[in-house]
Structure 1
Amino acid sequence: MSEHVVRPSRRLVLKSLASGAGLALAGSRIGDVLAQGTAPAAVTSNRLRPLVPSGVMSGDVTATSGIVWSRADRPSRMIVEYSMSESFKSFERRIGPAALESSDFTARMDLTGLPPGADVFYRVRFQDLVNDKAFSEPVTGRLRTATLSADRPVTFVFSGDEAGQGWGINERFGGYRIYEAMRRESPDFFIHSGDQIYADNPIQAEVKLPDGSLWNNVVTEAKSHVAQTLDDYRGAFSYNHLDANKRRFMAEVPFLVQWDDHEVRNNWYPGQQIGPEEKRYQTRAISLLAARAKQAMFEYNPFRINQLDPEQVYRGFQFGPLLDVFMLDERSYRGPNSPNRQTKLDTDSQFLGPQQAAWLKQSLKASKAAWKVIASDMPISLVVPDGNPDVPKGTYEAWANADDGAPSGRELELMDILRFIKRENIANVVWVTADVHYAQATYYDPSRAKFSEFKPFWEFVGGPINAGTFGPNELDMTFGPELRYVSIPKDNPQNQSPAARQQYYGRAKIDPASRAMTVSLHDLDGKSLWEVKLDPEA
């Protein structure tokens, strides 16, 4: 349904008061009541009104727009009111789409015509489609549009890997504490670098820790087994919304999200058939599982859907003169996982695929921003073996192939991108990623590399948000990586629970005066562990 703006009038105020319809209108007593989170007298029972179990969320912000997302518990219509004032003294209302069974009662609205560089306050309610006098209580949120000014700083945070290895929401531990730490940074937006869910990792009520104590999880039926049906994947996404820290963060910070492997199944690639060694799956075709997972991912995130390709995940965002962000998709177009030693770039060795790679190169070339951040869901030089029981040993999952030599396999595609950046003299490119479940800062120096036709650049790794800690991974030297910081020791025990406090996120701040970008890496409570100031190339 096309959205439209309704401006309050005295006639509408009187009509709503008389009918008890529950419309929150500027200057009316009923508007004041709804702004305080209470309901009109016409409907007093939660049993009769729609509920909003997953809170609100925003994302894919531009200078003049932002997606607002929420979810109801029954067939209902989304209504969004927004204001430039937290008090909602004056506001606009937009009538949104119906939240139906076909979308698991999720709904999103693209708020357009917003002012640049502004805090926009919004509240979401749902109107019952059976009893149209029944409205949910309003749930409030805030998003920040991208600035067009060169005089305003830009701050963002990044991390990934959420609820993996059976480490779920432990309320005794404080839940997903890292979301609260990131919220306190008051960032302009958050890059979720993938593994938003672990569809292949069930969550049980208790897990015994090495010291004999218990890790206690919130449990749901959907997370008691691996995800295979559409409802299973939906249940995995909705599970993470049970965490109070995440809901609070969602309501205050816009998301830019991408996916990696665990949204579907560990280390998946298109066309894969799950082998007989993996006993947990009755559905063996990965492409079918991936289609269900992608639908759930789009339903449960504030994506701005590409009308030409409704399933496209990669996209770019402009944050004024200081920053452009390019979100990659390293799942949908990759060739099969293999020893990754091909000597030519073709359908077997591609990672981004030719269309996405061309988009990235041309977008980087067209960018006028001081800094260009590439959000990659997998790291460049860290070796990530494909350890699934149904694949041969010596099979690799990411860019690197552990041979330290000249580029081969998927490295050929990266070589082409890095060479293009140098040839076009594109300055100040930084990569951010997650996937490996620890934090790292890496400087890539062409003088140390087997292939040297590239400009020096940095890569920063965050994560996990709430998952097992692993690593550190082996380093492939093809592109001359130099480790500047690693958050864990070489002999670190694998799959450490969040109780070990080895959960990490990154923060980047761009100063408008110097145009320098300061990147820091933080633990789950926000303590800064390491930082570097990057001066822009002229």
Structure 2
Amino acid sequence: MSELLDARGRTRRTLILTGAAAMAGWAGRAPALAMRDVSGADPFTLGVASGDPHADGVVLWTRLAPQPLAADGFGGMPARRVQVRWTLATDEACTKVARTGDVSADPAAAHSVHVEVRGLTPGREYFYRFEAMGHRSRIGRTRTAPGLGGGAAAAGPARFGVVSCARYESGYFTAYGHLAAERPDLVLHLGDYVYEYAGTPKSVRPFEAPETTTLAGYRDRYALYRTDPDLQTLHATAPFAVVWDDHEVDNNWAGEVPEDGQTREQFLARRAVAFQAYYEMMPLRGVARPAGSSARLYRQIAWGDLASICMLDTRQFRDDQPCGDGNKPACEARLDQARQMLGPVQEGWLRERAARSRAIWDVLGQQVFFGELVRPLPDGRDALPMDSWNGYVAARGRVLDMYTARPHNLVVLTGDVHRHFAGTLHAGGGPADAPVVGTEFVATSVTSAGDGSDDGAAVQALLGRNPNLRFSADRRGYLLADITPSTWTTHFRTVPWVTRAAAPVQTRASFVVEAGRPGLNRLS
């Protein structure tokens, strides 16, 4: 059987090799282009990033921090505003300037910078950098989304990377570096960008810090993660679309309910500083800036006529997990019709977007397992995870109904569970013998849960209890999606280890969804 070609006529092997070579060449030129005045401490230790691309603009981000891990959370910066110049250009050397300007980095926002550039050309590549305090940042690559209105004939191919769950102390972020070499057009980060737990001295990458509960603590945790070279490279390679899951605040938090014995007032104060630190460190638009313990993170990114991407918040507005959370063999409360996962406002917003969408592919970027997931227990019983949509059955059915009122090509992208999965979604959230209405691709973790294993018996036991699932793998990695008007192809990329550096990457499986024909077709 001949090897599948992508939309640009390349095999996967050619695509990966040429992508890696191109990235290496581009990255190798970047230091010479990003000249620096070394008369003082470099404030760009946390790198650069871009995000939330629109057809006419994109967000550019950096944070000034010459001492990124300073205990007070201010990164070694003075308690005053600092002017930052930004430049956006059409060439890698940043000499063909498209836009430039100055912005003030404020100590109240940890000297972070969010520049919302407008008036750009749809669907094109740009390069950017920052200057401040006598230094220049590295050069980043970004792009705008394609414009609307051309229809299927004008909807060119796109490449999305999907990642989640990167725990620093569990291992090396090698997967981020491999994804950067794939040159994605957009990276969807589906949560657990950082972990709030206290540092563990016997871990793969030990650090000393208590559990994050304060603004300084959250700032320092993000700074620790952002010093990682693979994460910095990925941010400098492609724009991100980000959403949080639980560990950006507190494990398995739900609405205003924390994991442990915090009072409501204590938890909302913690949530407020966690939200602030998240916004400061992410390439988000101003509409996502938190107001105390509230923030609007759900939003739509239109990738031309090819894809409508709705990024969802499944933490802030949900009801508490039923039956005490965890994996439960029986839980009638999960069937309560009134239970909310998205909350009425976000759910109404999504219903409107689904009704109005004319995109070829409707994409939901969200955190927790969406389809049916039965987990076999050692005693032979089956259990359902209450933190996932399995604990919010009616809410899941309402979402699926939004996309079955008329034909859609629905793709749900998920993180959280530290395993790769490919599965089908069925009408009304029903059993696997109900009509297929969509597809779910679940990205494994970047490092969380360590190296993983290739326990075939465990995989077969899991797939045997879940007829809606076609594939699972317990290794670390990411998803790579190649999208055309006629097909959505997801490659499950994995690394064999994260507990030491320099792991290679491979494709464990590839699946194609054909537009107009929901279901999974395995390629390899």
* Fold match by TM threshold 0.5: yes
Give 1:191's aligned amino acid. L
Give 1:54's aligned amino acid. L
Shift of 1:92: 4.3
Aligned equivalent of 2:296: 312
CA shift in 2, pair 1:283/1:359, >3 Å? closer
Superposed CA RMSD in Å reads: 3.1
Does 2:484 match 1:511?
A: yes
Task: Write the mapping of 1:26-37 to structure 2, written as runs, cut at 5 A.
Answer: 36-37=33-34
Aligned equivalent of 1:146: 145
Does 2:360 match 1:356?
A: no
Task: Write the mapping of 1:330-345 to structure 2, written as runs, cut at 5 A.
Answer: 330-339=314-323, 341-342=332-333, 343-345=335-337
For residues 372 and 139 of structure 1, the distance between their equivalents in structure 2, rounded to whole angstroms, comes to 35
Q: Which moved more, 1:140-149 or 1:282-291?
A: 282-291
SS across alignment from 1:247: helix
Among candidates 481, 484, 487, match of residue 473 of structure 2: 487
SS across alignment from 1:114: coil
Determine if contact 2:396/2:429 at 8 Å carries over to the other structure: no
Give 2:512's aligned amino acid. K
For residues 82 and 361 of structure 2, the distance between their equivalents in structure 1, rounded to whole angstroms, comes to 43
Determine if contact 2:33/2:93 at 8 Å carries over to the other structure: no
Shift of 1:51: 1.4
Among candidates 362, 386, 411, match of residue 393 of structure 2: 411
Shift of 1:448: 10
Among candidates 239, 250, 254, match of residue 265 of structure 1: 250
For residues 404 and 118 of structure 2, the distance between their equivalents in structure 1, rounded to whole angstroms, comes to 37
Aligned equivalent of 1:10: none
Shift of 1:204: 3.1
SS across alignment from 2:287: coil
SS across alignment from 1:289: helix
Determine if contact 2:218/2:274 at 8 Å carries over to the other structure: yes
Rg larger in 1 or in 2?
1
Among candidates 36, 39, 46, match of residue 45 of structure 1: 39
Shift of 1:417: 1.9
Task: Write the mapping of 1:522-533 to structure 2, written as runs, cut at 5 A.
Answer: 522-524=493-495, 525-533=504-512
CA shift in 2, pair 1:474/1:63, >3 Å? farther
Give 1:517's aligned amino acid. W
Determine if contact 1:228/1:283 at 8 Å carries over to the other structure: no
SS across alignment from 1:487: strand
Does 2:118 match 1:112?
A: yes
Among candidates 279, 289, 301, match of residue 282 of structure 2: 301
Shift of 1:476: 11
Give 2:178's aligned amino acid. A
Shift of 1:358: 1.3
Extract unaligned runs of 5+ from structure 1. Answer: 1-32, 127-133, 169-174, 208-214, 386-392, 402-409, 489-501
For residues 154 and 283 of structure 1, the distance between their equivalents in structure 2, rounded to whole angstroms, comes to 44
For residues 263 and 252 of structure 1, the distance between their equivalents in structure 2, rounded to whole angstroms, comes to 23
Among candidates 145, 157, 161, match of residue 157 of structure 1: 161
For residues 72 and 448 of structure 1, the distance between their equivalents in structure 2, rounded to whole angstroms, comes to 47
Instruction: Give the aligned length.
Output: 437
Give 1:536's aligned amino acid. A
For residues 273 and 71 of structure 1, the distance between their equivalents in structure 2, rounded to whole angstroms, comes to 30
Give 1:135's aligned amino acid. G
For residues 308 and 296 of structure 1, the distance between their equivalents in structure 2, rounded to whole angstroms, comes to 10
Determine if contact 1:182/1:526 at 8 Å carries over to the other structure: no
SS across alignment from 2:254: coil
CA shift in 2, pair 1:110/1:167, >3 Å? same
Deviations 1:445-491 (A, max 9, x none): 4599359886521101112112115797997999x851111113xxx
Determine if contact 1:159/1:464 at 8 Å carries over to the other structure: yes
Give 1:341's aligned amino acid. E
Identity %: 24
SS across alignment from 1:81: strand
Does 2:520 match 1:536?
A: no
CA shift in 2, pair 1:454/1:106, >3 Å? farther
For residues 201 and 103 of structure 2, the distance between their equivalents in structure 1, rounded to whole angstroms, comes to 37
Aligned equivalent of 2:389: 399
Give 1:376's aligned amino acid. Q
Task: Write the mapping of 1:170-319 to structure 2, written as runs, cut at 5 A.
Answer: 175-199=172-196, 201-207=197-203, 215=204, 217=205, 219=207, 221=208, 224-272=209-257, 275-276=260-261, 285-306=266-287, 311-319=295-303
Shift of 1:93: 4.8
Shift of 1:117: 1.1
Shift of 1:100: 2.5
For residues 34 and 442 of structure 1, the distance between their equivalents in structure 2, rounded to whole angstroms, comes to 43
Shift of 1:182: 0.6
For residues 81 and 101 of structure 1, the distance between their equivalents in structure 2, rounded to whole angstroms, comes to 22
SS across alignment from 2:390: coil
Determine if contact 2:401/2:428 at 8 Å carries over to the other structure: no
Q: Which moved more, 1:83-92 or 1:60-69?
A: 83-92
For residues 58 and 140 of structure 2, the distance between their equivalents in structure 1, rounded to whole angstroms, comes to 12
Q: Give the TM-score of the pair, scaled to structure 2.
A: 0.76
Q: Which moved more, 1:290-299 or 1:149-158?
A: 149-158
Deviations 1:160-209 (A, max 9, x none): 00116x415xxxxxx3100111112111000001011111x2233433xx
CA shift in 2, pair 1:414/1:97, >3 Å? same
Extract unaligned runs of 5+ from structure 2. Answer: 1-29, 66-76, 324-330, 376-382, 453-457, 496-503, 518-524
Shift of 1:119: 0.7
Give 1:468's aligned amino acid. A
Determine if contact 2:422/2:442 at 8 Å carries over to the other structure: yes
Determine if contact 1:76/1:99 at 8 Å carries over to the other structure: yes
Q: Give the TM-score of the pair, scaled to structure 1.
A: 0.74
Determine if contact 1:421/1:454 at 8 Å carries over to the other structure: no
Looking at secondary structure, tell me which structure has more helix per residue: 2
Looking at secondary structure, tell me which structure has more strand per residue: 2
Task: Write the mapping of 1:9-158 to structure 2, written as runs, cut at 5 A.
Answer: 36-39=33-36, 44-47=38-41, 51-73=43-65, 74=77, 75-126=81-132, 134-148=133-147, 150-158=154-162
Shift of 1:366: 1.1
Shift of 1:37: 2.9
Shift of 1:355: 1.0
